[in-house]
Amino acid sequence: MASKQTEATHPNRAAFPAGVGGPALRALHAAGVRSMADLETRTEAELRALHGMGPRALGILRDALAASGRRLRGP
């Protein structure tokens, strides 16, 4: 049976690239990150420290930012 991806389990999933899982989406939501533009105000270390943010999700987000000529805030 396929799982249902609701706003509760995958908050703001439309704002982020495909492949970012529920735990990472919930971590971003809890940290107040609601869009890709919000990511530019965060460092990689800040995102990595979020409970639920794994290396795969971080890589997807970093690559999506780079594809649009943007990046995470410096250290």
pLDDT at 3: 60
| The two three-digit tokens of residue 43, written as one number | 């460092």
Give the pLDDT confidence of 14-66 residue by residue, as tens digits. 999 999 999 999 999 999 999 999 999 999 999 999 999 999 999 999 999 99
9 pLDDT band, cuts 50/70/90, is confident
The per-residue b/e assignment along 6-35, b for 16 or more CB within 10 angstroms, e otherwise, is: eeeebbbbebbeeebbbbbbbbbbebebee
Please give the backbone phi and psi of residue 18, each rounded to the nearest 5 degrees, phi first: -60, 145
